[in-house]
Amino acid sequence: MSPSYLLAVLPPPALAARIAAFREGHALRDAAATPHITVKARSGLSPDLDWAATARAAVAGHAPVQVQVGGPAVFRNGTALYLSVHSADAVALHLALLSALRPAQRFGYEGAHMTPHLSVALARRGTDLSALLDAARVAFADLTAAPLAFTAHEVALLRKSGPGGVYLPLEHWPLGESGAT
């Protein structure tokens, strides 16, 4: 199988380390190994990387991204446990990337209704997301009480080698500092 790619904003190192420790403590092994907030899913991001220059230019033309990370939740469809993310900027960047890349097909969750989130665990056989949610509510109670605000100044290009692999950072692209979106 060929690799797959996505574009994401990475959380601050201290929060990434907390998520990694939670995942390790619960023996979670899935594609969300690198904590990230997806701003462009893999649709249209072909293995030949012919889209990369266009995406990099869209990122460079977008202002830094303001993000607030809150407490844990599980998607209604049961696909993932995540930390909530509030970021109009992340949605705007997502829309700018969709506009620039114009993928022939998009996932149903792409578009203006996109829900930014920071995945903690993906639903897999043997994974009890309800129990993990209870544990995450304890581990990340501070984020429920007071969301963590940060500004992302770059977008990471993440690569997964194939089925069963994990997304790992390949490159980091700076967001524009001009304030233009």
- Which residues 6+ apart lie within 8 Å of 7 measured at CB? 38, 39, 40, 45, 55, 59, 97, 155, 156, 157, 158
Per-residue pLDDT tens digits for 145-173: 999 999 999 999 999 988 888 889 999 99
Per-residue pLDDT tens digits for 68-101: 999 999 988 888 899 999 999 999 999 999 888 8
